[in-house]
Structures are given as structure tokens and as C-alpha cells.
Chains A and B, each alone.
Chain A
């Protein structure tokens, strides 16, 4: 098998340039999908027969919760690749993920609380799903705090990568918490084995929003990754060519 592609992804100047080229290809479709989904979700979709218009919080809550978990998976995978193959670019990816992931974990918790109050009668319960999501936030904050507390960059990379990998245990707990325990949180309505339990005009904006948020994260990650690479490669000669 030809491994040159793999080595190319280990080359900072290559990744820096590629990230710059790819950013608009993520950003524009993301913007269009999110705006379209906003219209579909707030205007076109019919109110839910039980939750009325309140259910529309799903169009910001579910994509945020998805991002929170997906970004952690990307971060941990990158950290693992960095740890095993000693690939600095992979560590740079992991470092670029954490802040965005933490933000969207907070958004998923806040939008969940705002949905919980009118539907369950309370902003917060120590429910398995909610608690696991809160732990996810602490994992992100721990990852960032650990990195910030170690001066030597390669040590910070390795230590935070170990933390990220240990935290992966939390992901299946978040995913299956609503099935393993009697959670107050409703079961998944889209990602299930049989067909989704939603009519099309409710479902389509949700799917568009999920894809839009995912591409949005791709764009933000690429921008942050370039900044991270520039800082790490501060003395490399390719930066001179790149910036002049």
C-alpha cells in the first residue's frame, strides 16, 4: 500500500496550505444548510402534537449535542494518532478541537435546560444522560487546563492525549444512557435502526442542521489548525515562503 498520503498529513506546510484551500468548501455549504434549516425548522415544520412549538428547540439542541460528542471523538482520535505515530500535526488537530467542543457542550446543556423546563418542569435533574454530558464538559476543560499547565509542548501533547483517550469511555455512556437506564431524556428519534419517528418536514431541517453544524465545525477546525501550526512551526523555513 502507498503510504505517501499519510506522510503528507504529517507535513505541517502541506496541511497548512490544504486547510486554507478547504476552509471555504466547508464554510459556505455550512452557512447555506444552517440558514435553510433555520427556515425549515422555525417556519415550515408543523408544531409537534405533544410539545407544540416548543419542540423546535430540537433544531439547535440536537446538533449542538451531536457536535459536542463528535468533536470529542475527532479530538481523541487525533490525540491517539499523535501519541502512536508521534505526529505533531495530529496533536495540533486535537488541541484545535477542545475549545469548540467545550463551547458546544455548554450550548447543548443550556438548550437542553431550556427545553427541559417547559417539558419536564425542571431545568436540571441528575439524570444519566445529562450527567454524562456534564462530565464531557469537564473532560474538555481538563484537557485544556492540562495543556495550559505544561510548558513543554511535546509533554503537554502527550499528557493531554492520554487524558483525551481515557475520556473516550464517556462517549458510549452518553450515547446509550437513555437505553441502559430509565432516563428522563427522550430516546433518539433520528439515529435508530428502524425508520426515524418523525414526519419528513420535521426531519429534513434537523438533518440539514446536523450536516450544517458538522461542516461548520470543519471550517472552524481548519482555521484554528492553521493558527496552531503557525505557532508550533515558528522557526520553520516554509513559513517565510508562505507569508511573503
Chain B
């Protein structure tokens, strides 16, 4: 098992490389989902307020 973690002496380079990749994978899923949730909430808020919202961006 410790053989596995030492990675033939490359542990110092290999594990940080895997860690930074894992971080990117997790962060991008997390931010994408959070983004969608907040966009949904914002849209719901506008709907329940009953106002058409401000015209402008994206309505050309």
C-alpha cells in the first residue's frame, strides 16, 4: 500500500497533479450547478413578483 502512495519516488509530483485535476472537475460541476440554481431562483422571483422585469439584455 505504501508502495502505491510513494509511486516509485514520483509521489511529490504525481499526487499534486491528480489533486489539481480533481479540484477542477469538482469545482466546475459545483459552479455550474450553483449557477443554474441561482438562475432558476432569479427567474422564479421575477415570475412571482408578477412584473415583466426590466427589458434589455438578450431581448434584441
Interface residues on B, range: 35 or more
User: Which among A57, A216, A220, A226 is the interface contact of B13 at CB below 8 angstroms?
Assistant: A57
**A29-57 toward B: CB 8 Å interface, digit per residue (1/0)?**
00000100000001100010000111011
Across-interface contacts of A153 in B (CB, < 8 A): 57-58, 60
Q: Are B29 and A234 in contact (CB under 8 A)?
A: no
Q: With A223-B32, A235-B53 as known contacts, state yes or no: A103 contacts B27, CB within 8 Å.
A: yes
Q: How far is the CA of A40 from the CA of B44 in the complex (A)?
A: 45
Closest residue to B6 on the A side, CB-wise?
A: A53
How many of chain A's residues touch chain B, expressed as a range?
35 or more
Q: Which residue of A lies closest to B52 (CB)?
A: A235
Interface residues of B in 1-20 (CB under 8 A from A): 4, 7-10, 13-14, 16-18, 20
* A117–B40 alpha-carbon span in the complex (Å): 45
Task: Give chain A's interface residues, CB within 8 Å of chain B.
Answer: 34, 42-43, 47, 52-54, 56-57, 60-61, 64, 88, 99-100, 103-104, 106-107, 110-111, 114-115, 117-118, 152-154, 216, 219-220, 223-224, 226-228, 230-235, 239-240, 243-244
